[in-house]
Structure 1
């Protein structure tokens, strides 16, 4: 009986509908009154405002040791269900040829609606669920705890001239702003070279908490300094770093980077060449970074945009809902902020 109580507490939210008279917890109370306390069925029905057959049904299930949740409406047998061989062929054709339900139906001899239901059941109804390079289903992974892996990468953005960039002021005014920005070298056409801003980003794989710095280069010295500060930043929030994942950029193949990882006792792993999907979490973060900060509004200068980065990072980590975190901010996944577990 005690096991049933625990089970009903977990299944409270799984009642039939919003207007159900008796939730699983109330059903348990009804059954206990009848079976354990021997209260008359009619009196219990009047107290809970339900019919006596309902009370009798839940009391009988409780006495038999059955669950108080709704039983599944799935039939015991399904003669018209698509056979496993047809299902396997539909999935194989989908992965190999990337065909739609109509084409799959013509090749397998089933209705297009049946082919679509098979794809939905196998989570292949959208081509975005299939890897474009290999045709295999996209395999998503997430490390079990914060600090198990940090993703690192660099996002390259063009510097903004004084007065605003062409994205907001137009190309003509943008060229004028480039010409009037002081202190910039000229190229062979006597046009000012605005240069680039290199955003060094570090993301925790489990929590999606992000750390970023803007620099004027992406050298090994800069990348290693960013990693050292990022590891200290995460450690201050109770996240010891165990592993780091990067691409095959020159900075991450350098001896300086190797020596720093050895000094910090961090295992370094690089992605397969020409395979950015492996580091997809930080690649997707760069898109969010560009939309939410890099090109979010008209900045009057590059210094103004760089000054706005810390505020945006705080918004991203502490307030912006993240779908991978159950529509909660990434910071909510850090369970050791006070250091009580380490």
Structure 2
């Protein structure tokens, strides 16, 4: 494999082949490029056998591993992980294996993180990402209690805030997240009725269009009545040329992009600080969305903000 001090990269190997093909001696070309004759002959043999593909690095992984743990033992390790949620330090003594060996087996099978498993069933959670912006939009509603003037219990204390608890009503934060880019759009409304949901989708589509996502193909929602039966909602979908998709009942993981965004919404906006009024919290939403879309690092995007995937230099996302 190439390293930072390597004499030959793929480009250098092609240059080696071109110079030898021009009629020059392999030994002379090797001396010019600072490599041994054996190395030069090796790359020439690979080029003659495989063409340009032979000039690329190969995996250093051995073709066979005679001392690898038998498949039936690996299956028992995986079974203990799925059924009893045991870690390497617990599985090792049960099967008579070193802890490090158990860890490698779990890593090989994608079971080394319990967070990657569905806790009740022990099956690996299948994560997905659509290939292009607009292919799938996740939509959901988050319900938040309104804040009384002067602040709620987070600002004035739980005992003092008890008198107003449950009397202020709720805000409904409607959110839409693009599956590929994680670009997000949110609005605050007093309800989640059909007309409200339909109007939100229209404005969300306009927002995505303004950011370069010109077509929405599918919209994924939960099984709320507004999404299943609402005529206005279906009319907006038809106008956008998009199809509506529903998650399986009691499976919020399917709509996971917007569910995770809702958690970020709470941590970095709704509960970020003690607001003294509902209006103050509402006004802070726009700043949060701008930060989220344009500046906040996203682990699923290699540490880049969502807008970086929309403004792709190759222009393939327009």
Aligned partners of 2:70, 2:315: CA distance in 1, in Å? 54
1:231 to 200, 205, 208: 205
What corresponds to 2:266 in structure 1? 290
2:17 to 12, 31, 48: 31
Please say if residues 298 and 306 of structure 2, whose CA atoms lie closer than 8 Å, have aligned partners that are also in contact. Answer: yes
What corresponds to 2:170 in structure 1? 196
Compared CA separation, residues 40 and 212, structure 1 to 2 (3 A): same
Compared CA separation, residues 165 and 45, structure 1 to 2 (3 A): farther
Gaps of 5+ in 1: 1-14, 179-186
TM-score by length of 1: 0.78
2:72 to 85, 93, 101: 85
Q: How does 1:96-135 map to 2 (within 5 A)?
A: 96-135=83-122
How many pairs are equivalent?
Answer: 314
SS of the residue 1:308 aligns to: helix
Please say if residues 238 and 336 of structure 1, whose CA atoms lie closer than 8 Å, have aligned partners that are also in contact. Answer: no
Q: What does the per-residue CA deviation read over 1:224-252, in whole Å, with 9 as the maximum and x for residues that have no partner?
A: 21112212332443332222222223433
SS of the residue 2:177 aligns to: strand
Residue 265 of structure 1, CA deviation: 4.2
Q: What does the per-residue CA deviation read over 1:312-336, in whole Å, with 9 as the maximum and x for residues that have no partner?
A: 2122222222222232222233369
TM-score by length of 2: 0.83
What corresponds to 2:302 in structure 1? 326
Give 1 or 2 for the bigger CA radius of gyration. Answer: 1
Compared CA separation, residues 74 and 273, structure 1 to 2 (3 A): closer
Q: How does 1:1-342 map to 2 (within 5 A)?
A: 15-33=1-19, 35-41=20-26, 43-65=28-50, 67-167=54-154, 169-171=155-157, 175=160, 193-236=167-210, 237-256=212-231, 257-334=233-310
Please say if residues 32 and 59 of structure 1, whose CA atoms lie closer than 8 Å, have aligned partners that are also in contact. Answer: no
Aligned partners of 1:215, 1:332: CA distance in 2, in Å? 29
Aligned partners of 2:276, 2:41: CA distance in 1, in Å? 74
Aligned partners of 1:233, 1:135: CA distance in 2, in Å? 39
What corresponds to 1:3 in structure 2? none
Aligned partners of 1:50, 1:214: CA distance in 2, in Å? 66
Gaps of 5+ in 2: none
- CA-atom RMSD in angstroms: 3.2
Mean Cα displacement is larger for which, 323-332 or 196-205? 323-332
Compared CA separation, residues 36 and 284, structure 1 to 2 (3 A): same
Please say if residues 176 and 204 of structure 2, whose CA atoms lie closer than 8 Å, have aligned partners that are also in contact. Answer: yes
Compared CA separation, residues 337 and 314, structure 1 to 2 (3 A): farther
SS of the residue 1:292 aligns to: helix
Please say if residues 185 and 204 of structure 2, whose CA atoms lie closer than 8 Å, have aligned partners that are also in contact. Answer: yes
Compared CA separation, residues 336 and 119, structure 1 to 2 (3 A): closer
Compared CA separation, residues 334 and 109, structure 1 to 2 (3 A): same
